[in-house]
Amino acid sequence: MLFSSVSFLYVFLPAVLLVYGLVPKKWKNHVLLASSLLFYFVGEPIYVLLLIISSLSDWLHSLYIENHRGEKSAKIALVSSLVINLAMLGFFKYADFLLTTVNDLFGTSIPLTKVPLPIGISFFTFQTMSYTIDVYRGDAKAEKNLATFATFVCLFPQLIAGPVVRYTDISTELHERSVCMDDLYIGVKRFVRGLARKVLIANAMGEFCSLYREAAEPSVVFAWLYAIAYALQIYYDFAGYSDMAIGLGRMFGFKFPENFDSPYRSKSITEFWRRWHMTLGGWFRDYLYIPLGGNRVPKARWLLNIAVVWAATGIWHGAAWNFVLWGLYFGALLVLEKLFLGNWLKKLGAVVQHIYVIFTVLVSFVIFNARSLPQIGQDLGRMFGAEGIPLWSSETGTRLSGYFLLFFAAVLFVTPLAEKLIAVMRRKSLGRGIIAVLEPVLIAAAVITVTGFLVDGSFNPFLYFRF
């Protein structure tokens, strides 16, 4: 079930909010757990059992670890939990990728499993692994109540596309939380913001990318517009989903961690990755990079650590070589920035730094969105005039004229201009009054507009469901 669907907006969510508001406090987690399992069942009726097994496994392992803390058996239990999680993730997400690679390398014909990928498996396995590791480290106490722990794992606002919420982020709220009208309003406002970003901008940018793929008259400018469109699509799609997840969490009394912080304003790739998918970056830092030794090791080992982390980051996003290449590409840029490139760029000023970030990120997402390694070469080549394509074509002009205002709005809203304007208005009583009047009107208008698009059956995928 998509957040950006009529059934979710007008049936599922209102029903859950109503029941949740009516039941006594001791039953609220049970309502959330039941509704979350139903939410997942609608999209994955078979794999809901996988979700339950994952929850039960890590709950039992963590209890054993806490009861045998300091003993060798606790470490064995931790390893057991990690092996189960990684085996589950490996089988469903990477088995066919590995078999295809073996077949290609050795000319074999090993049949593929062709097992469908469970939605959200990359997210909920990382969440359960971080929980068990935190219990082993003593950073979290093992949850005694299975229903409470299962609520954490299955919580539908962040179940299928993040943010990657750790148990320690919401452990207090799992046991004691309340929702006032301010929380509800803030949650609705944040949810509608994400919904508008997703449906009105990301979906339209996705349509433009499809038009590029179908183009009869490709051009250099068209190739660059495609790169920009996809970078905007993936940002508004995933940041929009994160907004919706955070807003939904607030409606039920949870404060999920932020996942994006205006990444396209960055002046370096290091800064970009502090602002983009922050919960995933934090996960790899705390549970892979630092345990490997981080940067407190000899330089050769440090470079290896970065390569491992960024190869893992790439492969986490998908079972294909373009994702590995994408991860290593960023890993190489980060190493170069730490060695010399960062200091060199600072001397050239903010404008050059921003151009560098936008250029390298556009290239990265062309790699990310390619369906094969040859397509990476074709897409990047066209951006620099390969294949003898012209700088401009009549089809380029036609498509740009139809999407110009959308590009303008999408680019405008990734700059700080709108936020700065609102901040200035909030400093004055008149500005605060205008915002107080306009904000509910804009929220209502956004909901009505989005509903119109959804009823019309517009293009409406979620990119991160692939990962």
Q: Using an 8 Å Cβ cutoff, are 289 and 303 in contact? A: no
The CA distance from 396 to 229, in Å, is 13
Q: Using an 8 Å Cβ cutoff, are 385 and 220 in contact? A: yes
Mapped onto helix, strand or coil, the DSSP state of residue 230 is helix
The CA distance from 321 to 106, in Å, is 17
- Tell me the DSSP string of 62-122: HHHHHHTTTSHHHHHHHHHHHHHHHHHHIIIIIHHHHHHHHHHHH---PPP--PPPPTTHH
The CA distance from 163 to 300, in Å, is 33
Q: Using an 8 Å Cβ cutoff, are 307 and 333 in contact? A: no
Q: 275 Cβ partners below 8 Å, 6+ apart? A: 260, 261, 262, 263, 265, 266
The CA distance from 289 to 129, in Å, is 15
Q: Using an 8 Å Cβ cutoff, are 241 and 464 in contact? A: yes
C-alpha neighbours within 13 Å on the C-beta side of residue 150: 23
Question: What number of other Cβ atoms are within 10 A of residue 463's Cβ?
Answer: 18
The two structure tokens encoding residue 387: 């294949």
The CA distance from 312 to 74, in Å, is 26
Cis peptide before 163 (omega within 30 of 0): yes
Q: Any idea what DSSP says for residue 144?
A: -
Tell me how far the alpha carbon of residue 381 is from its chain's centroid: 28
Q: Using an 8 Å Cβ cutoff, are 204 and 286 in contact? A: no
Question: Is 175 part of the annotated catalytic residue set?
Answer: no
Catalytic choice (30, 61, 175, 317): 317
C-alpha neighbours within 13 Å on the C-beta side of residue 324: 8
CA-CA-CA-CA torsion sign (409, 250, 313, 463): negative
Active site residues: 317
